[in-house]
Each structure stands twice: as structure tokens, then as C-alpha cells.
Amino acid sequence: MSMFCYQCQEAAKGTGCTLKGVCGKDAPTSGAQDLLIYTVKGLALVLREGERKGLRSPEAEHFIIKGLFTTITNANFDEDAILEYVKEGLALREKIKGEWEKEGVSFAGLHDAALWTGNSKEEMQKKAETVGVLATKDVNIRSLRELIVYGLKGMAAYAVHALNLGKEKKEIYSFMIKALSATLDDTLGTDPLIALTLETGKYGVEVMALLDEANTGTYGNPEITKVNIGVRSNPAILITGHDLKDLEQLLEQTEGTGVDVYTHGEMLPAHYYPAFKKYKHFVGNYGNAWWKQKEEFESFNGPIVFTTNCMVPPKKEHIDRIYTTGVTGYPGCKRIEEDENGVKNFVPVIEHAKRLAPPQEIETGTIVGGFAHAQVFALADKVVEAVKTGAIKKFFVMAGCDGRMKSRSYYTEFAQRLPKDTVILTAGCAKYRYNKLDLGDIGGIPRVLDAGQCNDSYSLALTALKLKEVFELNDVNDLPIAYNIAWYEQKAVIVLLALLYLGVKNIKLGPTLPAFLSPDVAKVLTDIFGISTISDPEEDLVKFMG
């Protein structure tokens, strides 16, 4: 069985994975994901017909965001679980059709995506072979359709996190339904798809604002925090991914049990939120970005909870201590499901931790973060003064993702080479390339300001807009801010589209441009937005400093 996937930065040979994913995804799982996307699109078509008559289905909207999120790189490697989800989607689609037909909605003449059925694994995998990325023959249309779908996957991830905290927005769902439907519309050429791509960025801003509201409304505004990177001697649980609600429940349930909790990867910024500071057993952050998890899980010794991507297929001997929840999945790993009240029972993980050794120390010291928008605004006078006096010459937005490609050492080198009067604004797991370097401070302002997770890139945009206002500029591109962004998976795609929507130009995107951009689509992005990729740290720095 073969596959085709080119959705992430590590796509094989820079063109696409065809036998097995570099990420570890096998062909059957890739097929199941293609089919899930097709199912989600079919459901969107049905919802669009309902919308014309003022009908909505929150259940189906939630199915769509969870379905899209499930197919994001490194979230779910479980073919059977994904096919089960497809079946649920088909059943839901037919149920809605039945109900809405009674309300006078007609589904006649809809695309096959809204009509097909399949039950057995064989039938579904056979169908999957006909509905993947390559089903769109024209390379430019394919490129734009996928660019939109990947943006929607990122949007869906953030929408799911917001929903978990009780926040959602009808307009975002409506846009997703419209955009998903459009990717099946053969009458749409490149121009309307380019317009839709830019509109995706608009809703990218909306969803990040919504998630920001959900996170800060629930857990307070992130504040400057020193996070311990060493260990204590208690048994412990490591929690990774991006979902703060999962973390909250884990912290509540571990309190007083003698089991400590540490964050890994993208969960690090949880330490910046006031609501989590009260937990004495919330010890610190263990390790680095997602791709180092094999070694770091080995030395951690305790159980690991995955709340979202990025997951590396675990070593056999680690499977027993890995728990997945939400959209994550891996065959053989234990699941933590939510009950009807939204509660997840982490007791089995806690009991498991008690039977295992405490984590082995791999480093000591602290790292500083918590520079989300409210904290930066609180320091605004100091920052503005530093810019006015020339103490800060330039800001470098270096948000995004980390990954295992060797060429990503560029980002460490670039950070090291930056002049001492420059400041890095970061978010996402890209920060691990330089957040442990001692880059010093400028009059008390650290030279690496970490806003949080990848979704908190929104904070960086707000910071830029605030500076634009303070300096009374008309164009955000007139600010002394340069953008050197690292990407890996589809959340970075929505962050990028959001920045483009906000008018940011001349972004450098690396370590390579997406495989899913056809030469013509890449040219459009270069011509309109000045997007380019990285070359050599020194050369790029000269260009950036003008």
C-alpha cells in the first residue's frame, strides 16, 4: 500500500512521503487520515446546505474541528481509532441529513464526499486510495486546496483547545464549513482559492484571539516566570502537548498524592499562568522540544501523558508508560477518555507513577518566560524607552516549531550571532533552539522574550500592533521588527496565514519552504508578501539588519 502526504516540513525529499512518513506514520494510517478529511469535508457540505436555511449542528461542528485536529502531523498514529472516527462521522452525517430533510433541506446533487458510505476496514481503505491529496490533478489547485486545509487544521487545533475551555465562535465554524466545501468545488480556480487562503488567515487571527481569551480568562495572564529545569526526588508524571485543561485536571488530581508533575515540550508555558503557580508539586520543565522525547522519556522514568502533538512513535519499552488523550493516539498506548461531565480520570497514571522511579536529572537551573501580551504591555514604557534611546535596535520574531532536521541548527547560530542590541520574540517549540543560551538582557529586558506556545504567536502580533500604535506608524512593516520563523506542522501554517492577514511582509520561513507550495503558488507568496526561505545565518543577518 502506498501513501502520499506532504503536509509538514519533514516531507520526504522535500516533496512528499510515499511509503512511510518521516514522522513514523504508516500508509494505512495515512489512508485513514485522508478518509477522515474527506468525511469532514462531506459533513461540511451537508452543514452548508443547512446553514442556508438557518440550521446548525454543534455536534457536527465539534466533529469537524476534532477530525481536522486528529490528522495534524504527529498527533494520531492509530489507524483503527481514526477509521472508527470516520464511521462516527458518516453516522452523524446521515442523522443530520435525515433530520434536516424533514425541515425542507435538499441534499440532491451533492458531491460524493457527502454521499459515500463504507463499513469494513477494507472498503474504507479502498475508498481512501481515491480521495487523498493526489486526487486533485492540477498542481496549483492542489497546492492551494492543501494550503487552505492545512491552515484549517491549525485553526481546528486552536478551536478545540478553546472549546475545551468553553469558548467557541459560530463565525469561525461557518468559515471552516465554507472553506472545506470550497476545496471540493471544481469550479473554483486559483484566484478564488488565493482569496480564500487569505481569508483563512483572517479567521486564524480570530481563533487565536478566541483561544487567548479562553486561556487568560480561565488561568489568568501569563507573567514573568523562572521555570526550574532540574528535578526532585519524588515519583513523577510528565505532561506534554498544548492542552491546559488536561494539565489543570492532572494537577488537581495529583495534589497531595506525593507524585510530582513536570511539563515537556510545548507544555512549558503552562508555568507562566498564575492559576498553576499554586501547585507546589508542579515542579518544572523536563527536557526540550518534541523530537528529543525518545531519550528524554527514557531518563524521565515515570508515565507520560500526551494531550496533543507532537508525538514521536515511542520505543516499544516505553509504550506501557505512555497515556494518550484528546486527539492523540498510538496503538498499544493507554487512553484517558473524558466522561460526560468533561472530567478525565488520571488516577491510573498517578498509581502507575508511584510504582516507577523518580526522574533522572538531565540539567539544572532555570529558564525565563511569560512575555505574553499583558506582561509585555506592562513593560511597554521600558521597552519603548529602550527603542527610543537605541538600546534596542531591532526585534526578531523567531516563533514557530522545532524539528529534527540538522539544518535547524541555523536558528541556534542565528540567535548567537544576533547583535547584543537586539531582542528575540518567540513562541512555540522553536524556542528550544536558543532559550537555554545565555543571551543576557538589555537594561533588565531579557534578550529572549518567550510569549508561550505556538498559538501564543498571537501575543507577538499584539505586541507588534501595540508598538505600531505607540510609534504612530501607519504600517506594521515600518517597525524595527524582522520575522525569521521556523515551521514544522500545520499550526505553523495558520500562524503564518494570520501574520500575512495582519499585513506582515518579508517573512523568512525555514528551514525549507513547504513541499505543498507549487512553484507558482510559492511565487505568488513571494511576489505579494516577500516570503523567502533561509540561507546562511550570517548572510541572512546582514540582510535583516539592512
Cα distance between residue 75 and residue 324, in whole Å: 10
Q: Does 21 help bind ligand SF4 (rule: CB under 6 A)?
A: yes
> Are the CB atoms for 206 and 174 separated by under 8 Å?
no
> Are the CB atoms for 372 and 220 separated by under 8 Å?
no
Q: Burial code of 52-90, b = ≥16 C-beta within 10 A, e = fewer?
A: eeeeebeebbbbbbbbbbbbbbbbbbbbebbbebbeebb
* Cα radius of gyration rounded to whole Å, the chain: 23
Interface residue with ligand FSO, options 429, 439, 517, 531 (CB under 6 A):
429
Of all residues in the shown chain, the one whose CB is closest to ligand SF4 is 21
Cα distance between residue 199 and residue 197, in whole Å: 5
Task: Please say which residue, 172 or 267, places its beta carbon nearer to ligand FSO.
Answer: 267
Question: Minimum distance between the CB of residue 150 and ligand FSO, rounded to whole angstroms?
Answer: 11
Interface residue with ligand SF4, options 10, 61, 212, 243 (CB under 6 A):
10
Question: Minimum distance between the CB of residue 489 and ligand SF4, rounded to whole angstroms?
Answer: 7
- In the block, cell 468525511 appears at 39
Task: Please say which residue, 86 or 310, places its beta carbon nearer to ligand FSO.
Answer: 310
Q: Which three cell numbers stand for residue 161?
A: 483547545
Q: Which three cell numbers stand for residue 501?
A: 492577514
Q: Concatenated DSSP letters for 61-90?
A: HHHHHHHHHHTSTTTB--HHHHHHHHHHHH
Strands 366-369 and 334-336, sheet pairing: unpaired
x/- site string to ligand SF4, residues 64 to 93, per CB under 6 A? ---------x--------------------
Strands 366-369 and 225-228, sheet pairing: antiparallel
> Are the CB atoms for 264 and 296 separated by under 8 Å?
yes
Task: Please say which residue, 206 or 489, places its beta carbon nearer to ligand FSO.
Answer: 489
> Are the CB atoms for 383 and 376 separated by under 8 Å?
yes
Question: Minimum distance between the CB of residue 401 and ligand FSO, rounded to whole angstroms?
Answer: 3
Task: Please say which residue, 146 or 260, places its beta carbon nearer to ligand SF4.
Answer: 146
Binding segment toward ligand FSO, per CB under 6 A, in 61-69, 276-284, 456-464, 489-497: 489-497
- In the block, cell 507573567 appears at 223
Q: Does 491 help bind ligand FSO (rule: CB under 6 A)?
A: yes
x/- site string to ligand FSO, residues 298 to 317, per CB under 6 A? -----------xx-------
Question: Minimum distance between the CB of residue 534 and ligand FSO, rounded to whole angstroms?
Answer: 17
Task: Please say which residue, 172 or 454, places its beta carbon nearer to ligand FSO.
Answer: 454
Q: Does 8 help bind ligand SF4 (rule: CB under 6 A)?
A: yes
x/- site string to ligand SF4, residues 498 to 517, per CB under 6 A? --------------------
Q: Count the residues of the shown chain that bind ligand SF4, applying the rule CB under 6 A.
A: 12
| CA geometry: angle 7, 10, 14, nearest 5 deg | 85
Closest CA to 78 of 114, 121, 43: 121
Q: Which three cell numbers stand for residue 234?
A: 519524588
For residue 509, the partner it binds in ligand SF4, ligand FSO, none, with Cβ less than 5 to 8 A by kind, is: none
For residue 290, the partner it binds in ligand SF4, ligand FSO, none, with Cβ less than 5 to 8 A by kind, is: ligand FSO
Using DSSP's 3-state secondary structure scheme, residue 378 falls into helix
Binding segment toward ligand FSO, per CB under 6 A, in 168-176, 357-365, 488-496, 520-528: 488-496
Using DSSP's 3-state secondary structure scheme, residue 307 falls into coil
Q: Does 37 help bind ligand SF4 (rule: CB under 6 A)?
A: no
Going from the C-alpha of 290 to that of each of 5, 236, 509, the distances in angstroms are 21, 19, 20
> Are the CB atoms for 507 and 531 separated by under 8 Å?
yes
x/- site string to ligand FSO, residues 392 to 411, per CB under 6 A? ---------x----------
For residue 266, the partner it binds in ligand SF4, ligand FSO, none, with Cβ less than 5 to 8 A by kind, is: ligand FSO
Q: Does 291 help bind ligand FSO (rule: CB under 6 A)?
A: no
Residues forming beta bridges with residue 442, ordered by sequence position: 445
Cα distance between residue 232 and residue 25, in whole Å: 35
Task: Please say which residue, 92 or 485, places its beta carbon nearer to ligand FSO.
Answer: 485
Binding segment toward ligand FSO, per CB under 6 A, in 105-113, 317-325, 413-421, 486-494: 486-494
Task: Please say which residue, 62 or 404, places its beta carbon nearer to ligand FSO.
Answer: 404
Closest CA to 281 of 250, 304, 303: 250
For residue 152, the partner it binds in ligand SF4, ligand FSO, none, with Cβ less than 5 to 8 A by kind, is: none
Question: What is the H or E stretch that residue 204 is in?
Answer: helix 190-219
Burial of 213 (0-12, 13-18, 19+ CB in 10 A): middle
Q: Which three cell numbers stand for residue 366?
A: 532555570
Q: Does 261 help bind ligand FSO (rule: CB under 6 A)?
A: no
Q: Which three cell numbers stand for residue 278?
A: 499554586
Task: Please say which residue, 6 or 276, places its beta carbon nearer to ligand SF4.
Answer: 6
Using DSSP's 3-state secondary structure scheme, residue 280 falls into coil
Question: Minimum distance between the CB of residue 82 and ligand SF4, rounded to whole angstroms?
Answer: 14
Task: Please say which residue, 85 or 516, places its beta carbon nearer to ligand SF4.
Answer: 516
Binding segment toward ligand SF4, per CB under 6 A, in 21-29, 86-94, 165-173, 224-232: 21-29
Q: Count the residues of the shown chain that bind ligand FSO, applying the rule CB under 6 A.
A: 14
Provide the binding-site residues for ligand FSO, judged by CB under 6 A.
265-266, 290, 309-310, 401, 428-429, 453-454, 488-489, 491-492
Provide the binding-site residues for ligand SF4, judged by CB under 6 A.
5-8, 10-11, 17, 21-23, 25, 73
